[in-house]
Amino acid sequence: MTLPPKILIVGGGVFGLSTALSLSKRHPTSQVTVLEASATIPNPAGSSVDTSRIVRADYSSPVYAKLAADAIEKWRNTEWGQEGRYTQNGLLLVYPDGDSNGKDYALKSYHNVKKLEGKNVELLPSQEDVLRAGPAFGPNLGVSGGYVNWGSGWSDAEAGVRFAKKQLDEDGKVRFQTGEVQSLLHGADKRTVTGVVLADGTTVTADLVVLATGAWSTKLIDLRGRAVSTGQALAYMHITDEEQTRLAHMPTILNFATGMFILPPRNNLLKIACHAYGYINPKTVPVPGANGKSMTVSFPEPDLPIPAREEHEFRMALKQLVPELADRPFCKTRVCWYTDTPKGDFIITHHPDHPGLFVATGGSGHGYKFFPVLGDKIVDAMEGSLDKELREMWAWPTPVDEATFHGTEDGSRSGPKGLKLKEEIAKGKKAQRASSL
Ligand SMILES: Cc1cc2nc3c(=O)[nH]c(=O)nc-3n(C[C@H](O)[C@H](O)[C@H](O)COP(=O)(O)OP(=O)(O)OC[C@H]3O[C@@H](n4cnc5c(N)ncnc54)[C@H](O)[C@@H]3O)c2cc1C
């Protein structure tokens, strides 16, 4: 399929920028614009922008494991990983006693990654073995096994976005525009998408609109039962020079029991996070394109604190993993948003009901690592030449029951499901007030 000349990409995160990079190489005569709501790229509130993202080929699905291995090759051996954008420190994946989902995910992922990484990967069938690979994580670590992959690493996520933007600026083929899309613009048939309407009422027209708006997509198109935006808590703390030196080379640890993970610190800043079902933030908004109808969907809201329960969980995890930091105050917290699909598969496809609209989203908390290779796959999908396996995985999904869909079910998530962010924040405030009375 040949691509039309005028292409508008909405969203300047991993999905949007990687698409722009690929289009600028493969379709240099196309007129490509990236439209981004944030005044800056990197957008500090975007899901692609943070101190770090894990880069791993550790997947229970062989298709993602292979794609991740291709991406890792680029992080390791090309400009993508240079100037501190990629560090290979290893990843220690552990599961607790009795967590059959976590164990199953870990073992499948071990077998896939073992084929790709060979000697870099070691099975750790007991707690003793886990502690041998990660002695920093003391004997209180409540795990019964796992494995370590010394071939995994992490990326400085903000630096990666900055790098992609710089490539595009230097190349000069893609135009950038700041503006917030309010809705899609439809043709006379009310189906074909012909551009977008911005918050200031102006319009931008295009032959093809690529929606790469991450967790904000849920109010621009009807994704009910197909994608849900879930807020994930992050916390950061300052550490001393001595702690920085000691912890800088530890492997990232991801505990399937709690979802907690700690990345090696950089610039005296340590981050702790949780790969969980997270929190929903329900809002009632108009159903896009359906006059007068409304729907309740979860989507991001800026500058919310993390719930007190999450701070407590972080403290518990630190007590287990790096006890000397357990009581250190956090200097910053943040809620960062996943765009979760039922099985964790991205949605990268032409919209079945709206000619002129292409959807590239559904990162499901694992999209960042693919930055160096994702754009080519997205453009393959736009052209209709994507490999069969990926095409089937990333097709427009059959919706699941919204009432029970609280996040990706791929065996890697932990924690309670369907917690409402603002309710949980309020509970913490109430408890604080009660304890000060
Ligand atoms: C806490 C956290 C931890 C993660 N950890 C990992 C990890 O360890 N490894 C990994 O591989 N992946 C990880 N991920 C997932 C990965 O970061 C995401 O899959 C990826 O960054 C999503 O990119 P995106 O382009 O879809 O979204 P974004 O980066 O959010 O980009 C979307 C952009 O669209 C813009 N936009 C939205 N609405 C509009 C509008 N109406 N008009 C104009 N612009 C708009 C936004 O401003 C935003 O900049 C993590 C994600 C989070 C949140």
Half-sphere exposure of residue 159: CA atoms within 13 angstroms, side-chain side: 17
Domain count along the chain: 2
Range of the domain at 363: 1-52+156-227+342-406
What residues have CB less than 8 Å from 376, skipping those under 6 apart? 22, 26
What is the whole-number distance in angstroms between the Cα of residue 231 and the centre of ligand 1?
11
385 and 244 Cβ atoms separated by less than 8 Å: no
Could you tell me if 334 and 352 lie in one domain? no
Per-residue pLDDT tens, the chain, 437 aa: give them. Answer: 789 999 999 999 999 999 999 999 999 999 999 999 999 999 999 999 999 999 998 888 999 999 999 999 999 999 999 999 999 999 998 887 777 777 887 888 898 889 888 999 999 999 899 888 877 666 766 778 999 999 999 999 999 999 999 999 999 999 999 999 999 999 999 999 999 999 999 999 999 999 999 999 999 999 999 999 999 999 999 999 999 988 888 889 888 778 889 999 999 999 999 999 999 999 999 999 888 899 999 999 999 999 999 999 999 988 877 888 999 999 999 999 999 999 999 999 999 999 999 999 999 999 999 999 999 999 999 999 999 999 999 999 999 999 999 999 988 888 999 999 999 999 987 766 666 55
What is the whole-number distance in angstroms between the Cα of residue 202 and the centre of ligand 1?
25
33 and 9 Cβ atoms separated by less than 8 Å: yes
81 and 75 Cβ atoms separated by less than 8 Å: yes
H/E stretch holding 103 reads helix 100-117
Does 121 reside within a domain?
A: no
Q: Pocket around ligand 1: residues whose beta carbon is below 6 Å from it?
A: 10-16, 35-38, 43, 46-48, 53-54, 180-181, 212-214, 216, 220, 232, 234, 273, 336-339, 361, 363, 365-369
Half-sphere exposure of residue 6: CA atoms within 13 angstroms, side-chain side: 7
Residue 35, domain CATH: 3.50.50.60
One-letter amino acid identity for 205?
T
247 and 264 Cβ atoms separated by less than 8 Å: yes
Residue whose structure tokens are 């494991």: 65
Could you tell me if 301 and 318 lie in one domain? yes
Residue whose structure tokens are 């707690």: 127
Helices then strands, counting H and E runs in the chain, come out as 10, 24
List the residue whose alpha carbon is closest to atom 14 of ligand 1: 365
Q: Classify each residue of 108-132 as buried b or exposed e, where b means 16 or more C-beta atoms within 10 Å of its C-beta.
A: bbbebbbebbeebbbebeebeebbe
pLDDT, tens digit, 9 for 90 and up, residues 157-209: 999 999 999 999 999 999 999 999 999 999 999 999 999 999 999 999 999 99
One-letter amino acid identity for 43?
N
List the residue whose alpha carbon is closest to atom 50 of ligand 1: 365
pLDDT, tens digit, 9 for 90 and up, residues 388-410: 999 999 999 999 999 999 999 98
Residue 302, domain CATH: 3.30.9.10
DSSP one-letter code for 240: -
Alpha-carbon gap, residue 253 to 266, rounded angstroms: 16
271 and 250 Cβ atoms separated by less than 8 Å: no
Does 279 reside within a domain?
A: yes
Does 58 reside within a domain?
A: no
Does 272 reside within a domain?
A: yes
List the residue whose alpha carbon is closest to atom 3 of ligand 1: 365
The residue count for the chain: 437
Alpha-carbon gap, residue 27 to 396, rounded angstroms: 25
DSSP one-letter code for 276: B
